[in-house]
Amino acid sequence: MKLKDRKRVLREMVLARRFEERCYQAYIERKIGGFLHLYPGQEACCYGVMEAARPGFDYVITGYRDHVHAIKCGADPKAVMAELYGKETGCSKGRGGSMHIFDVEHRFMGGYALVGGPFPLAAGMAKAIQMKGGDEIAICFLGDSANNQGSFHETMNMAALWKLPVLFVCENNLYGIGTALERSTAVVDQYKRVCAYGIESDVCDGQDIEVVLEHAHKAVEHVRSRKGPYFLELKTYRYRGHSMSDSRGYRSREEEEQWKQRDPINMLRDRMIVEDKYTLAEFEAMEKEIDGYIENEVIKFAEESPDPKVEELTKYVLAD
Amino acid sequence: MAEIMYWEAIQRAHDEEMARDPLVICMGEDIGVAGGTYKATKGLYEKYGPLRVMDTPISENGYTGLGVGASFLGVKPIIEIMSVNFAWLAMDQIFNSAAKVRYMSGGQLTAPVVVRSAGGAAHQLGAQHSARMEKVFMGIAGLRVVTPSNPKQAYGLLKSAVRSPDPVYINEHELMYNMKGEVPDEEYFHPLEGSEVARSGTDVTLFGYNISVHWCLKAAEILAKQYNISAEVVDLYSLSPLDRAGIKKSVAKTHKAVIAEEDEAPVGVGSEIMAIINEECFWELDAPPVRVHSALVPQPYAHNLEKATIPDHEDVVKAVLKLFGKA
């Protein structure tokens, strides 16, 4: 399925990629602390699904690899970067950090750091949607290894039982931290695992955004038309380690190179060059413009923003 | 003012709040068609239907998390966890999601759920059905913990918890559901913070909460009649936050303190109250405070061993006599 506006989506994916690469650099420079889980390689998953859904309208929740999902829902990259810098202007006021990006105004309901934790939260949001009678759906993006948590099974059962309007997107990047899927999981085809609960599911390539779009379209329509929950598995790959402390000793450089041959950004770009008279020069100019924006606006904003006030340490623990 | 049972008080609070607001729901194991293990939701399924009175699968972490997620969008779930022992399974969602989401989102998102559960030793329920967990809950930032000692509190605390913008854990007790007490006929909201002087006295303060308030009241009766000791009983219905000012005020009046809890030491509610006494009013003390608590054992089954594990009013009396150098 062809994207309606390939140019815009390509630009958004490049921004996501360059944003994450700049985070890497800032982490090395010790501007960003804590754990940092980066998204390069998986962009077609988030963008493909969200192009089929309604960003800012549908409720989205995910794990700790969350910067890009927040931005796609409508979060300002400046506020996301400021959060990583631990600044008061950060989207979570510097209280959350990389793993806890929130932008409730745009219905990005958070990044959570317990693997599998968002499953029941997503089902609960769907329960609320069901009660309130709106047209929204809940979308839960998680990785393959979250499916080995009890919360996965408990949630699939309840979501199916109560026919909740929730779409589970499994970004299967083949590794749970540093353990390969086939070494941790008896059934490696993730989409098959929800059959036990009578949940409709599908699987597709997670690198080609237009393939993702087509499958996501069907998935979103299923959930939005109140036919019950849906589970979509996307086969993808993260280029970097699980987090910054990961030297990727558990997989080969050859494997990484093979996946990079099917890079989601390059695939869309090359298709546009062939089909849309798009040029490499245009692409490079866009990259340059994005890098300028990240440096001169995003990083500058994060650098220049104030720290949270120590006197406000306990603000937000309970309601005032 | 009518005299009703503890479970009836909880049921009434549910009913009133659900009648008022269509977004108030309740969920838990056996709470609907079966009417609730302790009858706290009796008749609600018939009145409000399965979408609002949800019989959940036996998936404590799953349904608690589902309630938390629903609360993000303005639904107000009252979640019953049949026994506190099972609340351990829901701890991930209570601890990592409900209690922390306001803070880690910089105040953008809140999880105003109410989680109710029955704890405590009943009658020979053994190691995995007799636990107390209040000491665990009260150490969690972002969570309010209350524990009603009578039907009035059970009604008024649940009413206030439903209206609270914060997540609230309500610690009930398996042996108290049939306890009778007066509850106002008109709508009543009990404050979620503070403490109550359940009996006024001058010679020693007996601190209790939930079931141990009743040990303290009974002990105070015996102390007055048999030993001419005037004991004040302070009911700490809020365990988080603890009422530091209330604790200080009573100790400053009586200069002696005994703390009674069903939870076991070490690391109990009593340890924390003793720490507060030290921090707030050490120089008011005439004698070192004494704790009354359970033995540190997995709850035994045998009747005599169970009795030896759990304290009662006699242990409170003994502690006071020790404090007065009479034992």
Per-residue pLDDT reduced to its tens digit, A203-225: 999 999 999 999 999 999 999 99
Is A157 in the B-facing interface, judged by CB distances under 8 Å?
Answer: yes
Closest CA to A106 of A66, A60, A137, A139: A60
Q: Which residues of B are the active-site residues?
A: 60, 129
Tell me, what's the ipTM?
0.97
Instruction: Collapse the DSSP code of A34 into the 3-class scheme (helix H, G, I; strand E, B; otherwise coil) and give the result.
Output: coil
Q: Give the pLDDT score at B231.
A: 98
Cα separation, B14 vs B23, in Å, equals: 12
Q: Which of B68, B106, B144 sits opposite A102 (nearest CB)?
A: B106
Query: Cβ contacts (< 8 Å) between A315 and chain B: which residues?
Result: 107
Please tell me the distance in Å from B274's CA to the nearest CA on chain A.
Answer: 24
Nearest to A210 by CA among A290, A269, A255: A269
Residue type, A182: E
B165 to chain A: nearest residue by CA? A319
With pLDDT > 90 as the criterion, what percentage of chain B qualifies? 98
DSSP 3-state of B94 = helix
**A298, amino acid identity:** V
B133: confidence class by pLDDT, cuts 50, 70, 90: very high
SS3 content of chain A, % helix, strand, coil (to 5): 50, 10, 40
Do the chains contact at B70 and A104, CB–CB below 8 Å? no
Tokens of B75: 């639904």
What pLDDT is recorded for position A173? 96
Judged by DSSP in three states, B274 sits in helix
Are B232 and B206 in contact by the 8 Å Cβ rule? The answer is: yes
| B106 within 8 A of A79, measured Cβ to Cβ | no
Q: Which of A104, A151, A317 is closest, CB to CB, to B141?
A: A317
Return all residues near A233 (Cβ < 8 A) that are at least 6 apart.
A170, A172, A189, A190, A191, A201, A202, A203, A204
Output b/e per residue, A69-95; b: 16+ Cβ within 10 A: bbbbbebbbbbbbbbbbbbbbbbbbbb
**Confidence at residue A199, expressed as pLDDT on a 0 to 100 scale:** 98
A96·B65 Cβ contact <8 A: no
Distance (Å) of CA A130 to CA A157, A227, B97: 17, 12, 22
Note the pLDDT of residue A247. Answer: 84
Q: Say yes or no: A92 contacts chain B, CB-CB below 8 A.
A: yes
Q: Which chain B residue lies closest to A96 (C-alpha atoms)?
A: B104
Q: Is the peptide bond before A306 cis (omega within 30 degrees of 0)?
A: no
Q: Which tens digits make up the pLDDT trace of A248-275? A: 999 999 999 999 999 999 999 999 999 9
Which residues are CB-neighbours of B53 under 8 A, at least 6 positions away? B25, B26, B27, B31, B32, B41, B44, B45
Judged by a CB distance cut-off of 8 A, whether residue B325 touches chain A is no
* Token pair listed for B290: 């004494």
Shortest Cα–Cα distance, B78 to chain A (Å): 13
Strands A175-176 and A179-180: antiparallel
In a mutational test of the A interface, the residue from B54, B55, B72, B95 whose CB has the highest number of chain A CBs within 10 Å is B72
Q: Which of A92, A100, A158 sits opposite B59 (nearest CB)?
A: A158
Residue showing tokens 């398996």: B174
Q: A140: nearest CA in chain B?
A: B69
Min distance A1 CA to chain B CA atoms (Å): 33
Choosing among B23, B92, B105, which should be mutated to test the A contact, i.e. which has the most A CBs within 10 A? Answer: B105
Residue B309 contacts by C-beta under 8 Å, 6 or more apart in sequence? Answer: B121, B294, B295, B297, B299, B300
Distance CA B52, CA B45 (A): 8
Q: Distance between CA A60 and CA A120 in Å, rounded?
A: 13
Minimal Cα–Cα distance from B114 to chain A, Å?
14
How many angstroms separate the CA of residue A288 from the nearest CA in chain B?
33
Place of tokens 């009678």: A133
DSSP string, A141-181: EEEGGGGGSHHHHHHHHHHHHTT--EEEEEEE-SEETTEEH
Contact B57/A158, CB-based, under 8 Å?
yes
Residues of chain A falling short of pLDDT 50: none
Measured on CA atoms in the order B112, B116, B120, B124, is the torsion positive or negative?
A: negative
Phi and psi at residue B3, to the nearest 5°: -95, 120
For the segment B211-236, the average pLDDT, to the nearest whole number, is: 98
pLDDT in tens, B258-300: 999 999 988 999 999 999 999 999 999 999 999 999 999 999 9
CA dist A222 and A199 (Å) reads 11
Using a CB-CB distance cutoff of 8 angstroms, which residues of chain A are in contact with residue B165?
319
Q: Please check the confidence at residue B31 and state whether its pLDDT lies above 90.
A: yes
Domains of chain A in start order, with CATH, are 6-300 (3.40.50.970)
Residues of A in contact with B108 (CB under 8 A): 92, 102-105
Whether residue A318 lies within 8 A of chain B, CB to CB, comes out as yes
The rounded mean pLDDT for chain B is 97
> Quick one: angle between helices A264-275 and A6-28, nearest 10?
150
Helix A209-224 and helix A264-275, axial crossing angle in degrees, nearest 10: 100
- Inspect the interface and report whether the beta carbons of B65 and A121 lie closer than 8 Å: yes
Query: What's chain A's Rg over C-alpha atoms?
Result: 19
- Distance, in Å, from the CA atom of A31 to the CA atom of A51, rounded to the nearest integer, reads 32
| A62 touching B (Cβ < 8 Å) | no
Angle at B254 between CA B249 and CA B260, to 5 degrees: 85
**CA-based angle A156:A159:A163, to the nearest 5?**
140
Residues ≥6 apart with Cβ < 8 Å to A23: A32, A36, A38, A67, A81, A84, A98
> Is the distance from CB of B116 to CB of B137 less than 8 angstroms?
no
Q: Using CA coordinates, name the residue in chain B closest to A99.
A: B104
List the one residue out of A67, A170, A186 whose CA is nearest residue A116. A170
DSSP, collapsed to helix, strand or coil, labels residue B291 as strand
Shortest CA gap B62–chain A (Å):
5
Distance CA A230, CA A219 (A): 6
**Beta strands of A159-273 (E only): which ranges?**
166-172, 175-176, 179-180, 200-205, 230-235
Q: Which domains does chain B have, with CATH numbers?
A: 2-183 (3.40.50.970), 196-323 (3.40.50.920)
Tokens 């009543």: give the residue: B188
Chain-chain contact of A131 with B70 (C-beta, under 8 angstroms): yes
Q: Which residues neighbour A168 within 8 Å (Cβ) at sequence distance 6 or greater?
A: A119, A122, A140, A142, A156, A159, A194, A229, A230, A231, A232
Tokens of B274: 């003793």
Q: Which chain B residues in 184-243 lie under 8 Å from chain A, judged by CB atoms?
A: none
The backbone torsions φ and ψ at residue B169, rounded to the nearest 5 degrees and listed phi first, read -100, 125
- Which chain B residues are closer than 8 Å to A128 by Cβ? 69-75
The sign of the dihedral angle between the CA atoms of A37, A41, A44, A45 is negative
Q: Which of A:188-207 have CB within 8 Å of B? A: none
Interchain pair B106, A110: CB under 8 A: no
Identify the pLDDT of residue B147. 98
Strand-pair partners of B205: B232, B257
The tokens 């889980």 sit on which residue? A37
* Closest-CA distance of chain B to residue A92, Å: 4
Chain A residues within 8 A of B106 when measuring between CB atoms = 90-96, 102, 316
